[in-house]
C-alpha cells in the first residue's frame, strides 16, 4: 500500500516537459546588422535588455534617440538605452516589450534562444519582423 502511494505521489510531482524553462537570455548578443551589442540581464523577477555598445561610427556626442515618438526622449543617448523589458518565460521562449531606436517603434517581443543564436520576433499590430542575433563573449 505504501509503495503504491509513493508512486502516486511521484507521478504528481514529476514536471511535464512542456513546463521546462526556456533557455537563458542572459548574456551579450550582437545584432543581425552588426550595429550593436545588446546585454540581456535580470531586472527584478523579469529579464531586460540594454544597448551595451554601438559598433558603428557615432556622431560627436554620441548617437541619440532621434526617432522616439516622445519628443522629450529624443536627446537620450542610444548606448545604454533599455530596449527590452518585462520579458518572462512564454512557452519555449520569452515574451515582453521592446523598443527600436532605429525607427522609434514600441512592439511586442517574442524571443527564443537556440545555442548561440537568439531569434527575436517583434510585432506591431499584425506586422512582424524576425531577426537572429549571435551570442558574443
What is the CATH classification number for the domain harbouring 59?
Answer: 2.40.128.520
| 9 found inside a domain | no
Distance (Å, whole) CA 30 – CA 51: 10
Tell me the pLDDT band of 19, cut-offs 50, 70 and 90: low
Count up the domains in the chain and report the number.
1
Look over the chain and give the mean of its residue pLDDT values, rounded to a whole number: 87
Cell of 133: 542575433
Whether the predicted pLDDT of 38 surpasses 80: yes
- Does the residue 1 lie in any domain? no
**Is 15 within a domain?**
no
pLDDT digits (tens, 9 = 90+) for 62-118: 999 999 999 999 999 999 999 999 999 999 999 999 999 999 999 999 999 999 999
Do residues 63 and 26 make contact, with C-beta atoms less than 8 angstroms apart? no
- Residue 8 parent element (H or E): helix 2-13
Task: Kindly give, in sequence order, each residue whose CB lies less than 8 Å from that of residue 25, ignoring residues fewer than 6 positions away.
Answer: 40, 47, 49, 87, 94, 111, 113, 118
Note whether residue 32 is domain-resident.
yes
The pTM assigned to this predicted structure is: 0.82
What pLDDT score was predicted for residue 124? 84
Asked if the structure places residue 41 within a domain, the reply is yes
Note whether residue 13 is domain-resident. no
Nearest to 50 by CA among 31, 33, 37: 37
Contacts 24+ apart (CB under 8 A), 68-73: 68/101, 68/104, 69/104
Asked which of 14-18, 49-53, 56-60, 64-68 is least confident by mean pLDDT, the reply is 14-18
Between 4 and 51, residue with greater pLDDT: 51
User: Is residue 89 domain-resident?
Assistant: yes
* Residue 133 contacts residue 38 (beta carbons within 8 Å): yes
Asked if residue 11 belongs to a domain, the reply is no
Residue 125 or 7, more confident: 125
Domain extent, residue 125, equals: 23-136
- 130: number of Cβ within 10 Å: 11
Amino acid at each position: 500500500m505504501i509503495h503504491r502511494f509513493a508512486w502516486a505521489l511521484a507521478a504528481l510531482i514529476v514536471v511535464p516537459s512542456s513546463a521546462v524553462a526556456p533557455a537563458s537570455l542572459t548574456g551579450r548578443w550582437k545584432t543581425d546588422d552588426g550595429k550593436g551589442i545588446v546585454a540581456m540581464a535580470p531586472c527584478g523577477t523579469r529579464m531586460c535588455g540594454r544597448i551595451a555598445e554601438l559598433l558603428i561610427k557615432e556622431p560627436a556626442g554620441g548617437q541619440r534617440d532621434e526617432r522616439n515618438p516622445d519628443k522629450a526622449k529624443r536627446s537620450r543617448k542610444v548606448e545604454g538605452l533599455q530596449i527590452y523589458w518585462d520579458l518572462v518565460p512564454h512557452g519555449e521562449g520569452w515574451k515582453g516589450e521592446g523598443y527600436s531606436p532605429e525607427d522609434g517603434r514600441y512592439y511586442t517581443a517574442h524571443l527564443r534562444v537556440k545555442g548561440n543564436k537568439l531569434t527575436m520576433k517583434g510585432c506591431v499590430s499584425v506586422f512582424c519582423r524576425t531577426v537572429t542575433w549571435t551570442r558574443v563573449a
